[in-house]
Structure 1
Amino acid sequence: MKRSLGLMLCLVTTAVPIESQATDSARQIAESNVAQWNAAFAKGNMDGILALYADNALLVQPNGSVAKGAGEIREFWQSLIGQGAYAMDIVDVRSEQDGSIIATARLSDIKTLRSEQPQTIKYHYGGVLYSVLRRQPDGSWKAQVQRWSAGRGI
């Protein structure tokens, strides 16, 4: 009985750090992915943005319409990038049983105020962006599905 209890205690105490490490790893992957998005946004690099999507990705727009394929996804981003400078900020990351990662981000509009010392202000929109990231055969993580929500933010 003591041996069984000791074995169970050992399994429980070693399982917690593994789960924590998986969460940390998922967070690092999501943060790296968002950094790539933000770098592409900042440069208006449409090819860089499209490269962050899996080949058969879907993008669900705030109005509910679905963009499929590089052409439709490109149209969505061209209209958004033309409206200002944006950046994504991770607000939540979840690792799923199937190995995918769900990253929740909020989109911020970035403005630089002109004065003696330039200041940057971020305006957070009410909507959020949910991305299902999947590991690709080359080892990279790309958005398989993205859903933009224009509702209340986090």
Structure 2
Amino acid sequence: MLESDINTIVKEAQDRWNAAFNGGDAAAVAALYTSDGTVLPPAHAVVKGTAAIADFWAGFISAGVREHGIELLDAQDGGDMAYSSGKWWATGSGEDGKALRFEGTIVTIFRRQPDGSWKTCLHTWN
């Protein structure tokens, strides 16, 4: 696969993730992960499997985290696996009601599915 192809695939995957999260749909976010997908949040227990991933992201959404975005820095294809790195950001409110901006870096590993689509199998950030 050409580098530009994997960049397009990853960018489209990131856009679907952001749209689902920003739309407040944790189940749609979780559907973008493989059934054995793993989320490795900073300072939190490992989150594994679609149901646990949906619950995890539902907590962020209900806490008022919103306007999530990702800037792709790099994507590499490894056959049926690919990885990407980037920068992420989101907004929310502090306990005092003031707007907060969160940001950091992200690494995502994707696995090609039997139907040719790509889903996240590992996701971590700081």
Q: TM-score range by the shorter chain?
A: 0.7 to 0.9
SS at 2:2 equivalent:
helix
- What TM-score do you get using the length of structure 2 for normalisation? 0.80
Q: 2:47 maps to which residue?
A: 67
The structure with more radius of gyration: 1
Unaligned runs of 5+ in 1: 1-20, 112-121, 150-154
Higher helix share: 1
**Structure 1: how far apart are the matches of 2:14 and 2:29?**
11
1:143 to 99, 112, 120: 120
The structure with the largest strand share of the pair is 2
TM-score using structure 1 length: 0.67
Post-superposition Cα deviations, 1:63-82, rounded to whole Å, max 9, x if no partner, equal 15211112321222012112
RMSD over equivalenced CA pairs, Å: 2.2
SS in 1 for 2:124: strand
**1:123 Cα deviation after fit:** 4.0
Q: Equivalent residue for 1:28?
A: 8
Number of residue-to-residue matches in the alignment: 118
- Measured in 1, the distance between the counterparts of 2:122 and 2:41 equals 11
Distance 1:105 1:96 in 2: 15
Indicate if the aligned counterparts of 2:10 and 2:75 stay in contact, CA closer than 8 A. Answer: no
In structure 2, stretches of 5+ residues that fail to align are: 93-99
Identity %: 25
Q: 1:92 aligns with which of 36, 57, 73?
A: 73
Runs of 4+ in 1 over 4 A off after TM superposition: none
